[in-house]
Amino acid sequence: QITIRKEKWVTDEFEMLEFLGRGKFGEVKRCKEKATGRLLAAKFVSIIKEQERKDVYNEIEIMKSLQHPRLIQLYDVYENPSKKQMCLILELINGGELFERVIDDNFILTERLCELYILQICEGLNFMHKSNILHLDLKPENILCLSKDGHRLKIIDFGLARRFNPAQALKVLFGTPEFVAPEVVSYDKIGYGTDMWSVGVICYVLLSGLSPFMGDNDCETYNNITRAEFDFDDESFVDISDEAKDFINKLLVKDLNKRMLASQSLNHPWLNKSITPTAQPLPDDKIINTKNLRRFVIRRRWQKAVNALLALKRLGLNF
């Protein structure tokens, strides 16, 4: 049970260490619990509007109810006396973003590893969906590696997550253009399949480095998503298995109700087998050329830098 700590501020109990990342509302830093020496992550959130406080409380409430090895865990929450800042103490995830890791010069990406990564994302989502929660912001930046050497992943950032009652219509108008589903673009009813669409996009990008619906601007991207047309014609897909393509075909389906669910994805032949990562690729492993993926990651880094500037602007810091 997590209660919001108001009697002390986070720095009374934690030593702040290096910068880990920047979110919309503040920085994330590595930190050390003074009493135990335990290393964790501190996510600072600056609150300007009352709605933002409600959003953070929503994120906290959702994280508290999600305890699963594939989902980031929340340990403690502090609110400072002026109530203008909150700090979430999270499990520390040391391996950085999945996509940054797989484009590293020394990393050999294979289809088998992609299976292992997508399997873990689907396991995390299956748990969320069984708990009646939608993530609604699944994108590569929100998939982190637990450590620099293993292959275990964690889904982070429940800032847009919502409780979902299938009996009640839920509509949203947010998300990251490249990864949002057609029903978000058209502001129609959303559901569990809305997250599964994003898994389909992440999977397509991971295997090919190509973004299936990306246009020259957001408007074009939204049009492409609405048409829900994509193909595997690019040469990057030549060595990709039919099972992988079938998996994507069952996710990038325009009709939300016909999309594969997380529980079904775990039973799909692409994932429903023993997937053991090996130190070196096996002779029959399909090695994926990450040239396109590098370009994709660099483009997303730029987007992230622009978002970070917009976030600073929101806090009144202009350049």
Name the site residues for ligand ATP (rule: CB under 6 A): 20-25, 28, 41, 43, 72, 90-93, 141-142, 156-157, 159, 307
Helices (H), the chain: 10-13, 50-64, 98-102, 111-130, 182-185, 192-208, 218-227, 242-251, 262-267, 291-314
In terms of CB distance, is 179 or 213 closer to ligand ATP?
A: 179
In angstroms, rounded to a whole number, what is the distance separating the alpha carbons of residues 15 and 175?
33
Alpha-helical segments (H) within 73-139:
98-102, 111-130
Taking the complex as a whole, how short is the minimal distance between the CB of residue 222 and ligand ATP, in angstroms? 19
Residue 58 φ/ψ, nearest 5 degrees: -65, -45
For the bound state, the minimum distance from the C-beta of residue 262 to ligand ATP, rounded and expressed in Å, comes to: 21
Q: Based on CB atoms, which residue is closest to ligand ATP, 292 or 307? A: 307
Helix 242-251 and helix 111-130, axial crossing angle in degrees, nearest 10: 30
Residue 137 bears catalytic tag: yes
Rounded to a whole number of angstroms, the minimum distance from the CB of residue 91 to ligand ATP is: 6
Query: CA-CA distance, 122 to 268, in Å (whole number)?
Result: 11
Q: Is 22 helix (H, G, I), strand (E, B) or coil?
A: strand
Of 124 and 159, which CB lies nearer to ligand ATP in the complex structure?
159
**Structural element, H or E, at residue 195:** helix 192-208
The minimum distance between CB 269 and ligand ATP, in angstroms, equals 32
Q: How far is the CB of 293 from ligand ATP (least distance, A)?
A: 18
Q: Is 183 helix (H, G, I), strand (E, B) or coil?
A: helix
Nearer to ligand ATP, 55 or 285 (CB): 55
CA–CA dist 201, 225 (Å, integer): 11
Output the smallest distance, CB 48 to ligand ATP, in A: 14
Cα–Cα dist 20/95, whole Å: 11
Q: Which two tokens stand for residue 17?
A: 């260490």
Catalytic residue among 55, 76, 105, 137: 137
Q: Say which DSSP state 238 is in.
A: T
Which CB atom, from 20 or from 244, has the smaller least distance to ligand ATP? 20
* C-alpha–C-alpha distance, residues 206 and 220, integer Å: 22
Task: Give 98 or 181: the residue with its C-beta nearer to ligand ATP.
Answer: 98
Give the residues across from 90 on adjacent strands. Answer: 41, 74
What are the tokens at 99? 């996509």
Report the alpha-carbon distance of residue 25 to residue 51 in Å, rounded.
13
Give me the active site residues, please. Answer: 137
